Amino acid sequence: MNRRMQALAVFPAKKSVQLVDIPEPQLQDATGVLLGVREVGLCGTDREIISFEHGSPPPGSDRLILGHESLAEVVEVGPSVRRLSPGDLVVAMVRRPCPHPECRPCRAGRSDFCVTGHFTERGIKEADGFLTEYALDDEEYLVKVPKPLVDVAVLLEPLSVVAKAVVQARAILDRLPYEPGPQRGLVLGAGPIGLLGAMALIAHGYETVVYSREPEGGDKSKLVHSLGASYVSAASQPLETLTETTGEFDLILEAVGFAPVMMAASRLLRANGVVALTGIPAEGAAADIDVGGALRDLVLKNQVVFGTVNAGRSDFLSAIQQLEQFMTLFPESTRKLITHRRPLSEAARMLTQRDGIKNVVQLGLREA
Ligand SMILES: [Zn+2]
Ligand SMILES: [Zn+2]
């Protein structure tokens, strides 16, 4: 007997987003895991998909099930599953490897560095997501989450993106042939990635500034202050003159996705500093900047600007460590990143309303 369940799906050809009634998945593979989805975080990527700017259904299907920021409970495991058992809490990695034997990163388990572009992404690109009551996955792509993190573990997927950016930036800073002194960090943007980024920089010992559009004294600036960081609003200080009041930075984490801000970031660096870009700007955007001056600084000051996307298993593991640290350093502020928790029936509406920081869809485990 095949039971039915609901899922939120986008139909790109029909330009519609709707709840669909589909059969519950059944465990088939020896290394397969049946998941009862508990929570799914929503983000700008989902908003782009429901605006039909991004995202594609699995081959042969006219619809894509949304949801890539998952938290799930293991319900059943295949006979060859070794690391997980029913009742375990897990977060699923988003990107899955391309099939090409010559793609070294994918073959090494790091599809976040895929060189062919033929990877898939759960809930985004050619693979269904987790905005559904039950889902299947393979043990290989599931990361076990410590139970005490259950309240905030839905933040692990976006935090894995931040964790990768920080790991990569620190690897670049590690190239310096001297012991650096106290480090100063700047976060551009105060969305979920920016605020998680600020927490990560503080946890790594950076004296941290967050620069964003929201006014001083608003909820986001209060949250930033509660972490022990400074907040500067774009309304009161143009980016070009920011360092006149704050000084220059060793590490800049960009989470805005607006080309002029991204292009201007390197001008705020101290000598030997690093900019990590995580935002995805629209193509064709023009920026009125002094390109010669920016390139001159990169060379004469040994600076590095790099982009980073997605995350590998080691980044998810470092995200778990960081989240545990956040829950020790600033538990209330970490919980406050999750603004609303609503049922699946309200997911589509939550995606169109842009209030709060991180909105989460809650899915109940059905009684057997
Ligand atoms: Zn996301
Ligand atoms: Zn690949």
The pLDDT of 122-141, averaged and rounded, is: 98
**Ligand 1: distance of its center to the CA of 166 in Å?**
18
**CA geometry: angle 221, 240, 233, nearest 5 deg:** 15
Q: Which ligand minimizes its atom distance to the CA of 94?
A: 1
**Ligand 2: distance of its center to the CA of 110 in Å?**
8
Q: Where are the alpha helices (DSSP H) in 204-312?
A: 219-226, 242-246, 259-264, 291-300
Q: What residues does 277 pair with on adjacent strands?
A: 254, 307
Model confidence over 253-263: pLDDT tens digits?
999 999 999 99
Model confidence over 225-283: pLDDT tens digits?
999 999 999 999 999 999 999 999 999 999 999 999 999 999 999 999 999 999 999 88
The reply to whether the predicted model has a pTM over 0.85 is: yes
The pLDDT of 145-170, averaged and rounded, is: 97
**Ligand 2: distance of its center to the CA of 126 in Å?**
14
**Ligand 2: distance of its center to the CA of 104 in Å?**
7
Model confidence over 343-366: pLDDT tens digits?
999 999 999 987 889 999 999 755
**Ligand 2: distance of its center to the CA of 192 in Å?**
28
Q: Compute φ and ψ for 266, nearest 5 degrees.
A: -65, -20
Residues around ligand 2, an ion, CB closer than 5 A: 98, 103, 106, 114, 116
**Ligand 1: distance of its center to the CA of 161 in Å?**
9
Model confidence over 154-166: pLDDT tens digits?
999 999 999 999 9
The predicted pLDDT at position 289 comes to 83
Q: Where are the alpha helices (DSSP H) in the chain?
A: 44-50, 104-107, 156-173, 192-203, 219-226, 242-246, 259-264, 291-300, 313-329, 331-336, 347-352
The predicted pLDDT at position 365 comes to 55
The pLDDT of 212-221, averaged and rounded, is: 94
**Ligand 1: distance of its center to the CA of 319 in Å?**
15
Please state, for a pLDDT cut of 70, what percent of the chain lies above it.
99
The predicted pLDDT at position 282 comes to 86
**Ligand 1: distance of its center to the CA of 60 in Å?**
25
